[in-house]
């Protein structure tokens, strides 16, 4: 169907939305949100609406079947010192409580271990034999058998071979590594609690580090940890592969081994559109951003990064595409702020109310409202196409800011004022309680964010924004009366009745009603004074309350805020 069209010329009736600092100076009539009120030359008007669902669309649309579109802002940390190093929570995993039994197949026998040997047939033997200082077990009638350095998986074969060398026939052998000798390992370097810690030879390096308090987050290295044995480095440990891939060197410790955590290397901070901001340690000088990205988890759609840091020539700050950024070499102290900065060619909008077809569409970013509406079929007998409106997050944000600013000024002006007499002080105490309760309830209200685009049967052809929700309301046969009336209710619309007639049908005004403050909230989102206005099906009559204070200035301020609340929320908040 075709939709009526207006020039996109706006009268900003919603000064309270756009200019909250004018709140107390503006008359209540200036608080009506954003609306359109323009003269339309005949040549710029759209043709009359036709009762048809046919006709080719004027723009290419793609429907979407996922949920409502939301905007999420990426968090930013404050100072760099507040961002933890990558792996900061590693040693909260309780490694010290998880120890290897020492009976794994790759464990290598050491002096002090206990070996169970059983033989039957030609040789009868059942004994637990210790591995002596020379690395042998002494088997009666066989002699010493060298087992030091033999893996647990090969131990049975080694003992069996020694016994079969003497008893060649009719003998069966069973061997088991019964226990392992505890070892003491020194942990030193940049750890909170250096010292000597006990464990089994097959315990992980993480077990010993955990006993020493883990890596010092301020000065220790997660990437440069060495294991020494008799002044010789037998292994180097980098914890980054373990953090993301579970890869960790498998070592067998001996008595007197030393684990040394080196000082923290060059650090680079990654923040912005990342899974979580961290400071990452470089593996060596000259590492590039490409290598760093092996550890950083970027959010989908990241396209740019701001690289900042110090160089010999002074501070630098380069805003680069992700492709260019990957080639940059990093230096100690660099910071990269990753961001999703694609220039989108399309936006996503949502339709709600009475229409036919999908509810979400991707459209060109410069698309206008009537272009979209021309592509949406409706049933004119069910849809009120003259009351189209848009819910827009930016409008809701302005309404919230305006209302909060008004309430803040109200508190500042009246809760901090002094009193000249005792009677005046008592009055102010009563007023202060009233204001505090009112402000608390007002701040809990949800604003509509409604952008008024329909007036007098015409629709303003506004440019759409990402996340807009376009409302095509159902035709209504009712009038709803709320606020300060005896019986708030909905009733059937009757032609030629005025707002006062519907209020009388709702039982009349309450004692707290302000009979001079009656508003009409249209289905289009427009809010007007009821006095002299024609009633339409779907209208909501809001009867505002009186302001129960004697202070004339306070009364005026509260009246303005009540009007603002009614416009932004369609709620007649009582005092």
Write the pLDDT tens digit of every residue in 147-160.
888 887 788 888 98
Q: Flag whether 55 is in a domain.
A: no
pLDDT above 90: residue 554: no
203 and 271 both lie in a single domain = no
233 and 96 both lie in a single domain = yes
280 and 333 both lie in a single domain = yes
State the Rg of the chain over Cα: 39
pLDDT above 90: residue 448: no
200 and 329 both lie in a single domain = no
Residue 63 is predicted with a pLDDT of: 43
Segment 83-109, tens digit of pLDDT: 999 999 898 876 765 554 445 666 788
User: How many CA atoms within 13 Å lie on the side-chain side of 227?
Assistant: 20
Q: What integer is the mean pLDDT of 378-400?
A: 90
pLDDT above 80: residue 542: yes
Q: What integer is the mean pLDDT of 337-356?
A: 83
Residue finishing a domain among 233, 263, 293: 263
Can you tell me the distance from the alpha carbon of 260 to that of 503, in angstroms, rounded to the nearest whole number?
84
Residue 547 is predicted with a pLDDT of: 79
Residue finishing a domain among 297, 316, 339: 339
Q: Residue 571 — pLDDT band, cuts 50, 70, 90? A: low
Segment 68-81, tens digit of pLDDT: 332 233 333 333 44
- List the domain range (segments joined by +) for residue 198: 90-100+182-263
| DSSP H or E run through 64 | strand 62-64
Q: Flag whether 149 is in a domain.
A: yes
Q: Flag whether 278 is in a domain.
A: yes
96 and 214 both lie in a single domain = yes
Residue 510 is predicted with a pLDDT of: 93
Which of residues 287 and 437 earns the better pLDDT score?
287
Residue 165 is predicted with a pLDDT of: 86
* DSSP, residue by residue, 344-385: -SEEEEEEEES-SS-SEEEEETT-BHHHHHTTS---TTTB-G
408 phi, psi to nearest 5 deg: -65, -40
| DSSP H or E run through 209 | helix 205-211
Q: Residue 110 — pLDDT band, cuts 50, 70, 90? A: confident
pLDDT above 80: residue 269: yes
162 and 293 both lie in a single domain = no
pLDDT above 90: residue 188: yes
256 and 296 both lie in a single domain = no
Residue 424 is predicted with a pLDDT of: 65
Q: Flag whether 527 is in a domain.
A: no
Residue in the block written with tokens 């049967």: 457
Q: Residue 167 — pLDDT band, cuts 50, 70, 90? A: confident
- What is the percentage of the chain residues whose pLDDT exceeds 70? 78
Can you tell me the distance from the alpha carbon of 171 to that of 164, in angstroms, rounded to the nearest whole number?
8
Which of residues 526 and 101 earns the better pLDDT score?
526
Q: Flag whether 321 is in a domain.
A: yes
pLDDT above 70: residue 11: no
| DSSP H or E run through 160 | helix 152-164
Q: Residue 551 — pLDDT band, cuts 50, 70, 90? A: low
Residue 151 is predicted with a pLDDT of: 82
213 and 145 both lie in a single domain = no
Contacts of 89 (CB under 8 A, 6+ apart): none
Residue 561 is predicted with a pLDDT of: 82
User: Is-contact 100 203, C-beta < 8 A?
Assistant: yes
Query: What's the whole-number average pLDDT of the chain?
Result: 79
Residue finishing a domain among 323, 339, 355: 339
281 and 323 both lie in a single domain = yes
Most confidently modeled of 69-83, 149-163, 287-301, 417-431? Answer: 287-301
497 phi, psi to nearest 5 deg: -80, 145
Residue 74 is predicted with a pLDDT of: 32
Q: What domain count does the chain have?
A: 3
What do you get for the CA distance between the two ends of the chain, in Å? 46
pLDDT above 90: residue 509: yes
Closest listed residue to residue 215, CA positions, set 277, 261, 157, 182: 261
Residue 472 is predicted with a pLDDT of: 92
275 and 330 both lie in a single domain = yes
Output the domain CATH number for residue 144.
3.30.1950
Q: What integer is the mean pLDDT of 398-405?
A: 87
Count of other CB atoms within 10 angstroms of residue 473 = 21
Closest listed residue to residue 141, CA positions, set 166, 174, 173, 114: 166
Q: Flag whether 256 is in a domain.
A: yes
Q: Flag whether 236 is in a domain.
A: yes
Which of residues 203 and 239 earns the better pLDDT score?
239
Residue 98 is predicted with a pLDDT of: 54
Which of residues 43 and 344 earns the better pLDDT score?
344
385 phi, psi to nearest 5 deg: -75, -5
281 and 259 both lie in a single domain = no
pLDDT above 80: residue 540: yes
Output the domain CATH number for residue 237.
3.10.560.10
160 and 289 both lie in a single domain = no
Q: Flag whether 455 is in a domain.
A: no
93: which 2 tokens? 């995993």
Residue 420 is predicted with a pLDDT of: 57
Question: In the sheet that 314-321 helps form, which strands lie side by side, from edge to edge?
Answer: 278-281, 267-272, 335-339, 304-311, 314-321
């Amino acid at each position: 169907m075709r939709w009526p069209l207006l020039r996109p010329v706006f009268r900003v009736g919603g000064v309270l939305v756009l200019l909250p600092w004018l709140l107390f100076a503006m008359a209540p009539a200036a608080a009506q949100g954003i609306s359109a009120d323009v003269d339309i030359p005949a040549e710029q008007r759209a043709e009359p609406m036709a009762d048809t669902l046919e006709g080719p669309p004027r723009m290419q649309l793609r429907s979407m079947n996922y949920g409502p579109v939301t905007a999420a802002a990426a968090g930013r940390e404050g100072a760099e010192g507040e961002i933890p190093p990558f792996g900061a929570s590693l040693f909260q995993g309780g490694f010290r409580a998880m120890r290897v039994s020492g009976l794994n197949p790759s464990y290598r026998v050491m002096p002090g271990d206990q070996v169970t040997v059983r033989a039957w047939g030609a040789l009868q033997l059942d004994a637990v034999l210790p591995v002596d200082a020379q690395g042998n077990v002494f088997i009666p009638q066989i002699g010493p058998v060298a087992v030091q350095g033999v893996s647990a998986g090969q131990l049975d074969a080694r003992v069996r071979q020694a016994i079969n060398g003497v008893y060649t026939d009719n003998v069966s052998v069973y061997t088991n590594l019964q226990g392992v000798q505890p070892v003491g390992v020194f942990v030193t370097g940049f750890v909170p609690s250096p010292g000597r810690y006990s464990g089994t030879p097959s315990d992980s390096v993480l077990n010993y580090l955990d006993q020493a308090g883990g890596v010092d987050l301020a000065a220790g290295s997660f990437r440069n940890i060495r294991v020494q044995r008799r002044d010789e480095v037998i292994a180097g440990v980098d914890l980054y592969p373990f953090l993301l891939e579970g890869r960790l060197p498998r070592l067998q410790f001996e008595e007197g081994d030393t684990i040394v955590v080196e000082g923290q290397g060059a650090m680079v901070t990654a923040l912005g559109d990342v899974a979580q901001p961290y400071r990452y340690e470089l593996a060596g000088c000259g590492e590039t951003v490409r290598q760093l990205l092996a550890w950083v988890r970027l959010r989908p759609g990241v396209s740019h990064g701001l690289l900042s840091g110090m160089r010999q020539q002074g501070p630098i700050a380069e805003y680069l595409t992700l492709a260019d950024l990957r080639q940059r070499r990093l230096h100690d102290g660099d910071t990269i702020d990753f961001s999703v900065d694609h220039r989108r060619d399309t936006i996503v909008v949502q339709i709600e109310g009475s229409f036919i077809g999908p509810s979400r569409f991707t459209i060109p970013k410069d698309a206008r409202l009537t272009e979209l509406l021309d592509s949406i079929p409706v049933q004119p007998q069910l849809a009120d196409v003259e009351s189209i409106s848009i819910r827009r997050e930016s409008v809701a944000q302005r309404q919230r800011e305006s209302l909060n600013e008004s309430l803040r000024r109200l508190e500042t002006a009246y809760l901090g004022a002094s009193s000249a007499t005792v009677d005046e002080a008592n009055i102010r105490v009563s007023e202060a309680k009233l204001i505090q309760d009112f402000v608390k309830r007002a701040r809990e209200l949800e604003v509509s964010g409604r952008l008024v685009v329909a007036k007098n049967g015409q629709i303003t052809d506004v440019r759409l924004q990402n996340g807009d929700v376009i409302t095509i309301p159902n035709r209504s046969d009712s009038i709803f009366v709320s606020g300060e009336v005896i019986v708030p209710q909905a009733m059937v619309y009757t032609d030629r009745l005025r707002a006062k007639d519907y209020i009388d049908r709702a039982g009349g005004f309450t004692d707290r009603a302000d009979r001079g403050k009656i508003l009409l909230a249209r289905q289009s989102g427009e809010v007007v004074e009821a006095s002299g206005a024609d009633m339409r099906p779907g209208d909501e009559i809001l009867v505002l309350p009186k302001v129960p204070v004697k202070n004339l200035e306070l009364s005026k301020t509260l009246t303005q805020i009540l009007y603002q609340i009614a416009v932004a929320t369609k709620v007649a908040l009582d005092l």
